[in-house]
């Protein structure tokens, strides 16, 4: 008999949605409940005989760490984020989950409280069965929707032999995705009265040449550079700021650029290319690289892929589709920490949109895939160690 009923898991998902865990950086007027949802998760897990505790990344920003098993074997991590984006513009009640057929509506229903519910449900099922040789650890983390400080903190303090994320993926296995780099580019001019064309030099005009150069580089070079799983490389100018007044030549102009990187690209080479484009457009312009996230590419021979594939076929009755994503996820943080990582999540609609829902049947399938993946991965590891 199943240790946790579908009704139990549905109520868990609805309870998670009811807690408005909006990322406080994205929406400061909304985001005050990351601690509340972490406390709820810890209490629920403990009721199901799973050790769980809160680990604060910084004040008010919690991760939940949980574990089960005897520790005599490998460690498998299940990971999902607790935060959501804001609710501005939503046309449904964001935090009062409604159910219509298989669909569960609400902010975060799909992205990704469905994944949190699958992980917590899978842990409860495994704990009730009591057959774990090795260890399953849970990473319910904060801040994925902004800077992923939760994932960074988690991998500094916890180790695992493999990890499965549960971002919504329509029950497909994500084995690769793009990374990104952020840069600030600055041009300088000479401030002067708007009538003094003989003295003034506009930094904004200079930046125009750089904008054209970057746009041509994106369209003519990067779009031809393709990865079979994640598609082409790309870049875009996302922010621009310059000038001090209508009647004054602009002394400075700044733009921010995001470069989306492929799994096989070298970050230093990527930087050098863009710096060369900028140099050719405007001599003396400054490029400052200030944030980087690596791409993901899980080795096709990684044990977690083999065991999760087997588990998927057991649950679904057919082969899993292995895909790549253009977007970035916390999977790359775990993978960069030396933990082979994949993603399998539920089906749904409306991530960051006015209407968001998740297909609950896919949430339960996701749960079963996690349970079977853990059994297969840990059994194989414990037999080898013995």
Query: pLDDT tens digit string along 119-131?
Result: 999 999 999 998 7
- Asked if residue 245 belongs to a domain, the reply is yes
Let me know whether 213 and 276 are in one domain. yes
Give this prediction's pTM.
0.92
Let me know whether 161 and 206 are in one domain. no
Mean pLDDT of the chain: 95
Task: Tell which of 277, 293, 309 closes a domain.
Answer: 293
Let me know whether 163 and 303 are in one domain. yes
Let me know whether 163 and 275 are in one domain. no
Let me know whether 102 and 142 are in one domain. yes
Let me know whether 163 and 251 are in one domain. no
The predicted-structure confidence for 321-336, as pLDDT tens digits, reads as follows 999 999 999 999 999 9
Q: Residue 32's pLDDT is what?
A: 80
Q: What is the CATH classification number for the domain harbouring 222?
A: 3.30.70.360
Interval 191-205 mean pLDDT: 95
Task: Tell which of 244, 273, 293 closes a domain.
Answer: 293
Q: Residue 379's pLDDT is what?
A: 85
Q: Residue 31's pLDDT is what?
A: 74
Let me know whether 151 and 27 are in one domain. yes
Let me know whether 231 and 140 are in one domain. no
| Residue 2, pLDDT above cutoff 70 | no
Q: Residue 382's pLDDT is what?
A: 55
- Asked if residue 168 belongs to a domain, the reply is yes
Q: Residue 386's pLDDT is what?
A: 42
- For residue 280, give its domain range: 179-293
- Asked if residue 146 belongs to a domain, the reply is yes
Interval 19-25 mean pLDDT: 96
The predicted-structure confidence for 301-323, as pLDDT tens digits, reads as follows 999 999 999 999 999 999 999 99
Let me know whether 104 and 145 are in one domain. yes
- Asked if residue 144 belongs to a domain, the reply is yes
Q: Residue 72's pLDDT is what?
A: 85
Q: Residue 92's pLDDT is what?
A: 96
Let me know whether 140 and 188 are in one domain. no
Task: Name the more confident of 32 and 135.
Answer: 135
Give the tokens for residue 12: 């868990």
Q: What is the CATH classification number for the domain harbouring 132?
A: 3.40.630.10
Cα(133)–Cα(72) distance, rounded to whole angstroms?
A: 6
Q: Residue 71's pLDDT is what?
A: 85
Task: Tell which of 269, 293, 317 closes a domain.
Answer: 293
The predicted-structure confidence for 245-277, as pLDDT tens digits, reads as follows 999 999 999 999 999 999 999 999 999 999 999
Let me know whether 26 and 155 are in one domain. yes
Q: Please give the tally of structural domains in the chain.
A: 2
- Asked if residue 316 belongs to a domain, the reply is yes
- Asked if residue 1 belongs to a domain, the reply is no
The predicted-structure confidence for 273-292, as pLDDT tens digits, reads as follows 999 999 999 999 999 999 99
């Amino acid at each position: 008999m199943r240790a946790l009923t579908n009704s139990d898991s549905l109520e868990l998902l609805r309870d998670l949605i009811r807690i408005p865990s909006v990322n406080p950086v994205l929406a400061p007027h909304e985001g005050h409940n990351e601690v509340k949802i972490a406390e709820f998760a810890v209490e629920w897990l403990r009721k199901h005989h799973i050790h769980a505790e809160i680990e604060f990344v910084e004040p008010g920003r919690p991760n939940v760490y949980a574990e089960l098993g005897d520790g005599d074997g490998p460690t498998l991590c299940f990971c999902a984020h607790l935060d959501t984006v804001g609710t501005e513009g939503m046309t449904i009640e964001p935090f009062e989950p409604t159910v219509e057929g298989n669909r569960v509506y609400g902010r975060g229903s799909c992205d990704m409280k469905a994944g949190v519910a699958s992980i917590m449900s899978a842990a409860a099922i495994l704990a009730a069965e009591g057959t774990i040789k090795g260890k399953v650890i849970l990473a319910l983390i904060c801040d994925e929707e902004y800077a992923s400080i939760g994932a960074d903190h988690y991998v500094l303090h916890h180790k695992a032999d493999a990890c499965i994320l549960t971002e919504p993926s329509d029950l497909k296995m994500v084995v690769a995705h793009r990374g990104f780099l952020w840069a600030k580019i600055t041009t300088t001019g000479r401030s002067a009265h708007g009538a003094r064309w003989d003295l003034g030099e506009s930094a904004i005009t200079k930046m125009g040449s750089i904008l054209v150069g970057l746009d041509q580089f994106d369209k003519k070079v990067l779009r031809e550079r393709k990865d079979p799983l994640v598609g082409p490389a790309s870049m875009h100018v996302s922010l621009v700021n310059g000038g001090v007044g209508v009647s004054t030549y602009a002394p400075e102009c700044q733009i921010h650029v995001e470069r989306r990187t492929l799994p096989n690209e070298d970050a230093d080479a990527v930087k050098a290319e863009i710096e060369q484009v900028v140099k050719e457009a405007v001599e003396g312009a400054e490029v400052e690289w200030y944030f980087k996230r690596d791409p993901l590419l899980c080795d096709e021979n990684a044990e977690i892929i083999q065991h999760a594939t087997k588990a998927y076929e057991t649950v679904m009755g057919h082969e899993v589709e292995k895909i790549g994503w253009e977007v970035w996820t916390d999977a790359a943080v775990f993978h960069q920490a030396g933990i082979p990582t994949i993603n399998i999540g539920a089906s749904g609609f409306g991530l960051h949109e006015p209407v968001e829902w998740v297909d609950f049947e896919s949430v339960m399938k996701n749960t079963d895939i996690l349970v079977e993946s853990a059994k297969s991965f840990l059994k194989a590891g414990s037999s080898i160690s013995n």
